Amino acid sequence: QSLRQISQRTISTASRRQFENRVPEKQKLFQEDNGLPVHLKGGLMDALLYRVTMGLSVFGTVYVVYKLFEVSMPKKQN
C-alpha cells in the first residue's frame, strides 16, 4: 500500500513540471518572409545538416557511378 502511494506520488509530481511553450516563437520564425527555404530557416544546425546530407548524396552518387563503370568493364586476363 505505501509503495503504491510512493510510486503514484513520484509519477504525479514528475508530470507537474511546466515547460515553456515556444511554439508561437517557432511559428513566427518559420512564417517570416526572409527569402530562405523552409528547411534552412532553423538556423546554423539546419544549414549544417543540409550540407552534410548533400555531400553524402553527391559522394554516394559518384561512388555508385564509379562502381557501375568498374563492373561494366571486362576483367583483364593474365
Cβ pair 39, 50 in contact under 8 A: yes
Q: How far is CA 6 from the centre of its chain?
A: 38
From 61, 58, 39, 35, select the one nearest 49 (Cα to Cα): 39
Rounded to two decimals, the pTM is 0.61
- Cα separation, 40 vs 52, whole angstroms: 13
Has residue 2 got a pLDDT over 90? no
From 57, 58, 25, select the one nearest 43 (Cα to Cα): 25
In percent, the amount of the chain with pLDDT more than 70 equals 77
Q: Which residue has the higher pLDDT, 2 or 56?
A: 56
Site of grid cell 502511494: 5
In percent, the amount of the chain with pLDDT more than 90 equals 50
